[in-house]
Amino acid sequence: MNRFFITKIKKSGQQIILDDPEQLHHLRDVLRVKISEKISLFDNSGTEYLALVKNIGPGSASLELIEERHNDDLGVKITVACAIPKNAKFDEIIDKLTQLGVECIIPLETERVIVKLNKHKRSNRLLRWDKIAISAAKQSKRSKLPIIKPISEFKDIVSKTGDFDLKLIPTLEGDRKYLREIFNTPNKKIGKVIVLIGPEGDFSPAEITLAKDSGFLPVSLGKQVLRVDTAAIAVVSYIKLNEEHLPKKPNN
């Protein structure tokens, strides 16, 4: 079934009007959706709208609401603050972390980050990342998009993590624990997790010290040295695969 992201659902009784030009074009001209075909819409509120296409006009489509579903419980709330790698790999990171159900993604500038973006490029990248997240949410049947924050400096993010139950910083040096050791801790209730992912060459010693002083736990991801995008996906995948065994805090 085709899914459409609509900024604001226009609903009156059992009728929904789809008049977003981009989505209408996608429905009518790209996917060539037919009258009486079922489609699904979501508006980032966590609600899914199953509807039947009744009419497709030049400026809008009229839909009949069949069912509303509230099914976007993504479990443990995960924030990933990730250094921006070279090339377009952050696009892939946005795509994969959206599919995995991450709540918030923060592009990071660290001491050893090679990619430096000016104000104009930052704005364009955020627009592109939002579009990638929407596409990934459609594919993965998420009804709520991840929050993608503006590019931030390492120290600014680390200093604002007081409300997280678990704070992790994968690194290649020093005393570290394996993820299984941390997640096998009995009776540790976890509702919100933040993970810092470093650049090529790892975080600097000063950054690691700053993170540890702010309550982050250094962790190892194994013997292999992982690329930035692989590390981000590996950590989140591990948490998602093991979260059913975690004692969870109730969502507020």
**Per-residue pLDDT tens digits for 112-168:** 887 778 888 888 999 999 999 999 999 998 888 999 999 999 999 999 998 999 999
81 in the same domain as 43 = no
187 in the same domain as 122 = yes
The secondary structure of the chain in percent helix, strand, coil, rounded to multiples of 5, reads 30, 30, 40
- Is 250 part of any domain? no
150 in the same domain as 130 = yes
122 in the same domain as 61 = no
Q: Look up residue 91 and give its amino acid.
A: D
Burial class (CB in 10 A: 0-12, 13-18, 19+), 182: middle
Going by C-alpha positions, the residue among 129, 141, 97 that lies closest to residue 237 is: 97
Which phi and psi angles does 98 have, rounded to 5°? Answer: -65, -45
115 in the same domain as 81 = yes
Position 46 scores a pLDDT of 83
Last residue of a domain, one of 50, 70, 90: 70
106 in the same domain as 218 = yes
96 in the same domain as 57 = no
116 in the same domain as 55 = no
Q: Which whole-number Å values give the CA distances from 181 to 187, 220, 221, in the listed order?
A: 13, 11, 12
Tokens of 143: 């009804």
97 — pLDDT class (breaks 50, 70, 90): very high
In this predicted model, what pLDDT tens digit does every residue of 184-215 receive, in sequence order?
A: 766 667 889 999 999 988 999 999 999 999 99
Going by C-alpha positions, the residue among 140, 163, 152 that lies closest to residue 240 is: 140
Position 246 scores a pLDDT of 62
Answer whether residue 252 shows pLDDT above 70.
no
